[in-house]
Amino acid sequence: MKLQKYGQKYGQKYGPWALLIGGSEGVGAAFARLLAADGFKLVLVARKPAPLEALAAELCSQGAEVRAVSADLSQPEALNTVRAATDDIEVGLLIYNAGANNTRGLFTELPEDITQSVIAINVLGQANFARHYGALMVKRGKGGIILGGSLSSYLGSPTLAAYTASKAFSRIFSEALWAELQPLGVDVLHLNIGFTATPAMARLGLPINLAESPETVAREGLENIANGPVWIVSTRGNVEHARKISGVDHRAEIVRTNAIVPREETARAAREHQQV
């Protein structure tokens, strides 16, 4: 498959370094491969060292310059850990792709550390990284920020209270940040992702054969970075579903009837979604 030359098209505005938060597998790895193939230098950040180092080795073997940073994004020191590897370089593109959720349950019954972790990664992490690297981009008058989001940002869903709320923050935050930074030369995009075939989804036992490929998601993000504030990945039914669940009227009924289904019902729901 021939890759569009992102480095040739966007390198002057978004290069020379791209920082990928959550960049060891799935959509993050797809972003990394697309950018590395086109000459970007990369800083990859993820919690698990093994997949992180494997991807870094793969990209380095193809001639890319890569720095790998193992960091727990739920911890307050995460930004400082990443800064130690980036303060001496020019990061022109920030892609914050972390934020999967692997635990469901009633908010009042889940352990506090689980919900706090979700909020720390999806809310504080996006805000803190966008503030630091966005400020540097503003000083240079150029740059780009892609913040990973989800269709779940349009609807509060029972047993996923912290997760859906944090995704709603991400979308609204991205819109505000886009309005602030676009006049200053920095593009901001909230990349709204639906059901995607990532290793995280596979580990949850979900039917990823029905899902969008990470490569498609990453490609659409790069192709639309200047088309913010929000881009909904073009998988069939995604836009229609977002419209359906973001309605203002009859909100109680919308929330009741469109809650994210339990894992065991996901295959049926995914098939119905693709038939929209």
172 part of a folded domain: yes
36 part of a folded domain: yes
Segments forming the whole domain that contains residue 138:
6-274
Q: What is the pLDDT of residue 77?
A: 97
What's the CATH number where 163 sits?
3.40.50.720
250 part of a folded domain: yes
184 part of a folded domain: yes
57 part of a folded domain: yes
1 part of a folded domain: no
Task: Please give the Cα distance from 52 to 24 (Å, whole number).
Answer: 5
Centroid of chain to Cα 106: 25
- What's the token pair of residue 188? 């901001």
User: In which order are the strands placed within the sheet that holds 186-193?
Assistant: 66-70, 41-46, 17-21, 91-96, 143-150, 186-193, 230-232
**What single-letter amino acid sits at 22?**
G
Percent helix, strand, coil in the chain (nearest 5)? 55, 15, 30
pLDDT per residue of the chain (276 residues) written in tens, 0 to 9: 334 455 556 667 898 999 999 978 889 999 999 999 989 999 999 999 999 999 999 999 999 999 999 999 999 999 999 999 999 999 999 999 998 777 899 999 999 999 999 999 999 999 999 999 999 999 999 999 999 999 999 999 999 999 999 999 999 999 999 999 999 999 999 999 877 655 555 544 555 555 578 899 999 999 999 999 999 998 888 899 999 999 999 999 999 999 987 755 555 555 555 454
Q: What's the structural domain count of the chain?
A: 1
The terminus-to-terminus CA distance of the chain in angstroms comes to: 29
- Residue 178 DSSP SS3: helix
Q: What is the pLDDT of residue 236?
A: 82
